[in-house]
Amino acid sequence: MTKENRIEKLLQNFNNANLQPLWTLESDIMPHVPKPKSIPYLWKWDEIYQLAEEAGELITLDRGGDRRAIALANPGLGGMPFATETLWMAVQWLNGKEVAPAHRHTPQAIRFIVDGAGSYSTVEGDRVYLEKGDLVLNPPLLWHDHGSDSDERAIWIDGLDIPLTRYLNANFFEHNKNDVQEVNTIRNFSLLKYGSGTMKPAWEREKPVYPLMSTFKWSRTEQALLDLEKSGASSPFDDIALEYINPLTGNPVMKTFSCWIQMIRPGVHTQAHQEVCSTVYFVFEGSGYSVIDGVRFDWKKGDLFVIPNWKLHEHVNTSSGKRALLFSINDRPTMEALDKYREQAYTENSGHQEVKSIF
Ligand SMILES: [Fe+2]
Ligand SMILES: [Fe+2]
């Protein structure tokens, strides 16, 4: 038997014994740089809205389904309802006077209100009324239900770490025996107590992992953006960008992912860079485009788009007079906790990628 024949036989025997030799695998399982399966992609708001509206007419909220949520399914992920390998993002539609029943789960969750005067979220018995631009937190295993006192529909986006939790086989989910939690505090309690974000009740000493207020109100968020703009400080890669934090610890609001709000000022074209984290963007206001891995993605209000790990990206506000506001979630806290985060600026061509195609 020649050496080649013996090697072939050896590989066959490995296979029969459910073993795999590293020397045939290396570039697959330990590539030189991250090779995500998720791809840069953009979902148009007009299309999402039309489908969500129809779902609002046709689909009722029953136990089991619980939420009329429509997930972004990245075409690179083989039909899985995930925006990236770690992040879930969905658009949720709640009809007027409707209730999304109480449940709790281990995935960490946030919602960013697109539109929804008169709607509320009750988290662990604390009910807060919601307006456009509010960020609501659902830390793991806290009971939450949503409802609306208004006749108008509410619409928001949901961000969760479902894919990561699933990969880790760590998912638990429970229905509450009641559809609607009993509310045992005054309206907007956690917001009134902790909502300033810069001060706390003086007699409390705890430093909880998750923020104690369930909601970050848009009016304060917008003021923070305007103040940062006024300060003259900005990021070359993200312009006027703020990360939502737990005011008692300074850490991101969730352990596995972070929430950002950023303003790209009129005419600003940021520098390109790449990062070991994936990001899902929601265009809250304005219009412009992002170049991701050499492809130009034009976006406007309501659109959602994904930047997978290690893909070069830069953002442009094409308007000469109007700001663009982007809300996003990213899994950077997971990468940092596991010592895997890296970032690299693109230095060629004055920091701007060559646009090879348009999405
Ligand atoms: Fe939930
Ligand atoms: Fe970035």
Q: Is the pLDDT of residue 127 over 90?
A: yes
- Domains, the chain: 32-358 (2.60.120.10)
pLDDT band at 236 (very low <50, low <70, confident <90, very high): very high
Residue 108's pLDDT band (boundaries 50, 70, 90)?
A: very high
**Contact predicate 159/87, CB 8 Å:** yes
At 344, list the tokens.
């690299």
Ligand 1 centroid–CA 109 distance in Å is 7
Q: Ligand 2 centre from 273 Cα, in Å? A: 6
- What's the rounded mean pLDDT across residues 218-222? 97
Q: Which ligand is nearest to the CA of 276?
A: 2
What strands, in cross-sheet order, belong to the sheet with 287-292? 343-345, 273-275, 313-317, 287-292, 295-300, 357-358
Tens-digit pLDDT profile for residues 324-344: 999 999 999 999 999 999 999
Distance between Cα 254 and ligand 1 center (Å):
15
For ligand 2, the distance from its centroid to the CA atom of residue 161, given in whole angstroms, is 19
Ligand index nearest the alpha carbon of residue 315: 2
- Ligand that lies nearest to the alpha carbon of residue 281, given by its number in the listed order: 2
What local confidence, expressed as pLDDT, does residue 28 receive? 81
Residue 24: what pLDDT? 86
pLDDT at 247 over 70: yes
Query: Looking at the predicted structure, is the pLDDT value of residue 26 above 90?
Result: no
Measured from the alpha carbon of residue 108, the closest ligand is 1
Question: What pLDDT is stored for residue 63 in this prediction?
Answer: 64
- With 90 as the cut, is the pLDDT of residue 116 above it? no
Greatest CA separation found in the chain?
84
pLDDT tens-digit map of 42-88: 999 999 999 999 999 998 887 666 899 999 999 999 999 999 999 99
3-state SS, the chain, equals: CCHHHHHHHHHHHHHHCCCCCHHHCHHHHCCCCCCCCCCCEEECHHHHHHHHHHHHHHCCCCCCCCCCEEECCCHHHCCCCCCCCCCEEEEEEECCCCEEEEEEECCCEEEEEEECCCEEEEECCEEEECCCCCEEEECCCCCEEEEECCCCCEEEEEEECHHHHHHCCCCCEEECCCCCCCCCCCCCHHHHHHCCCCCCCCCCCCCCCCCCCCEECHHHHHHHHHHHHHHCCCECCCEEEEECECCCCCCECCCCCEEEEEEECCCCECCCEEECCCEEEEEEECEEEEEECCEEEEEECCCEEEECCCCCEEEEECCCCCCEEEEEEECHHHHHHCCCCCEEECCHHHHCCCCCEEC
Sheet of 279-285, strand order: 41-43, 304-307, 279-285, 324-330, 258-264, 240-243
Identify which ligand lies nearest to the alpha carbon of 239: 2
What distance in angstroms lies between residue 265's CA and the mean position of ligand 1's atoms?
34
pLDDT digits 0-9 by tens, 258-317: 999 999 999 999 999 999 999 999 999 999 999 999 999 999 999 999 999 999 999 999
Query: Mean pLDDT across the stretch 126-138?
Result: 96
What would the mean pLDDT of 247-267 be, rounded to a whole number? Answer: 97
Note the ligand closest to the C-alpha atom of 88: 1
